[in-house]
Amino acid sequence: MKPILIENARLLDPATGLDATGSLLIQNGRIASLKGAPAEGAEVLNAEGACLCPGLVDMRASIGEPGGEHRETIASAAQAASAGGITHIAVLPDTHPALDDAALVEFVIRRGEATGSIALHPYGAATKGCAGQELSEFGLLREAGAAGFSDGSRAIGNARTMRLALSYARAFGAMIVQHPEEPSLAGSGSATEGELATRLGLPGIPKAAEAILVARDIALARLTGGHVHFGHVSTGAALDLIRAAKAEGLAVTCDTAPPYFDLNETAIGDYRTYAKLTPPLRPDEDRLAVVAALADGTIDAIASDHQPRDADDKRLPFHQAEAGGVGLATLLGITLARVHGGDLSLLDALGLLTHRPAQLLRLEAGRLAEGAPADLCLFQLDRGWQVKAGALPGKAQNSPFDGRALEGKVMATFKDGRRVFRA
């Protein structure tokens, strides 16, 4: 490949604290220099002061393929990810069929490679069929490339099954990624239990359903020494438990997703199904608790929690509509809103999107360093744009942020030194 020299960029590397104007040279798919060293025949790109950071690492996303290609394919998800500055995605296993077989894990990895723009890191199904009963073959899945183990958007509800999963995963140096919602309490609810759900006539899910399962699994992590990672944490009570577990030194980590620090339960409005998510949106006190946990380091990563749905899934009465929202193209923009709002520094915000999730997933990613893969995101920090469902990149359009004005626009994405997106 022809070398590329990106000049006049604001270089941002949260792993080292780098924040300086400079140049970066890409050669043979890797970062060759951060000192602007010339290379014969290099293509020169003038960043005009735009920010250049590592490509984003999304540690929690659902993709329709296999089995849900009517909602989204790996190719269409890659298109949306590239437009959002994302170069690595950890994929949830609750597809159809579930990723409980080594051949399926290898299939997803290969399909990601075939796009040329995204690296996919599938989680193996913790239980066969993600049904919560019989454990999958962890050793074979790990050998095939599984990034960890999870039942996706389904909680592992049985305590004995979760104990065994944590023990076995520990033996393979892997974590269990748990959907933190006690199944018998969540039931068939569709909104957070409280005044708003009552007024709208919607079956409620008590906020305690999250904290109860988090408390149980922290106890199991203490018992087994296993690593439990809680996905899309959304309540202050659960975050208090996780904060205390970390102070105790337990192998407990977590992520959250943009809806839980940018929206509250009022976003469901008059039965707005694009804002029906799992877990459901919370009262504003919980949103503020999530923001505080981002700032104090309790939360380890921000994930897109991308869940593609098609029109037939959402154009239904609220209670019957499928939960989930797309988030690949908006991951950076919504996160930067917390920077513009003064809640996070720019480096801290980017760290939650790059090197911190990369560390959890044990990836060679998320850093601006000589010799590192040239997976890069170039963005203009103050450039405004508006989220418009129907005009987003990719196939699925069910964004809970439809109509939201944002500052922070991806201008280019590089994967292994090749420019795979240009605004």
Q: Give the domain CATH number at 42.
A: 2.30.40.10
What is the tens place of the pLDDT at every residue in 264-295? 999 999 999 999 999 999 999 999 999 999 99
Looking at the structure, tell me whether residues 142 and 291 fall in a common domain: yes
Q: What residues contact 171, with CB distance under 8 A and at least 6 apart?
A: 138
Looking at the structure, tell me whether residues 236 and 354 fall in a common domain: yes
Q: Which domain range does residue 308 map to?
A: 55-361
pLDDT band at 35; cut points 50, 70, 90:
confident
Quickly list DSSP for 205-242: E-THHHHHHHHHHHHHHHHH--EEEE-S---HHHHHHH
pLDDT band at 41; cut points 50, 70, 90:
confident
Side chain identity, residue 317: P
Any domain includes 352: yes
Looking at the structure, tell me whether residues 356 and 378 fall in a common domain: no
Of all residues in the chain, what percent are helix, strand and coil, respectively (each to 5)?
Answer: 35, 25, 45
Q: How far apart are CA 423 and CA 410, in angstroms?
A: 7
Per-residue CA distances from 243 to 212, 383, 395, 402 (Å) = 15, 35, 38, 33
The per-residue pLDDT of the chain, averaged, comes to 97
Any domain includes 100: yes
In the 8-state DSSP scheme, what is residue 149? Answer: E
Q: How far apart are CA 394 and CA 148, in angstroms?
A: 26
pTM for the model: 0.97
Any domain includes 393: no
pLDDT band at 1; cut points 50, 70, 90:
confident
Looking at the structure, tell me whether residues 147 and 32 fall in a common domain: no
Looking at the structure, tell me whether residues 344 and 416 fall in a common domain: no
Any domain includes 65: yes
Kindly state the percentage of the chain with pLDDT values over 90: 97
Q: How far apart are CA 101 and CA 339, in angstroms?
A: 41
- Residue 106 has a pLDDT of 98
What is the tens place of the pLDDT at every residue in 107-131? 999 999 999 999 999 999 999 999 9
Any domain includes 390: no
Looking at the structure, tell me whether residues 130 and 216 fall in a common domain: yes
Looking at the structure, tell me whether residues 42 and 92 fall in a common domain: no
Instruction: Provide the β-strand partners of residue 12.
Output: 19
* Overall number of domains in the chain: 2
Q: Give the domain CATH number at 246.
A: 3.20.20.140
Any domain includes 397: no
Looking at the structure, tell me whether residues 36 and 168 fall in a common domain: no
Any domain includes 398: no
Catalytic residue among 101, 217, 305, 313: 305
Active site residue 13: no
Looking at the structure, tell me whether residues 269 and 293 fall in a common domain: yes
Q: How far apart are CA 121 and CA 362, in angstroms?
A: 11
Any domain includes 399: no
* 195: enclosing H helix or E strand: helix 195-200
Looking at the structure, tell me whether residues 354 and 378 fall in a common domain: no
Looking at the structure, tell me whether residues 138 and 272 fall in a common domain: yes
Does a cis peptide bond (omega within 30 degrees of 0) precede residue 97?
yes
Looking at the structure, tell me whether residues 257 and 280 fall in a common domain: yes
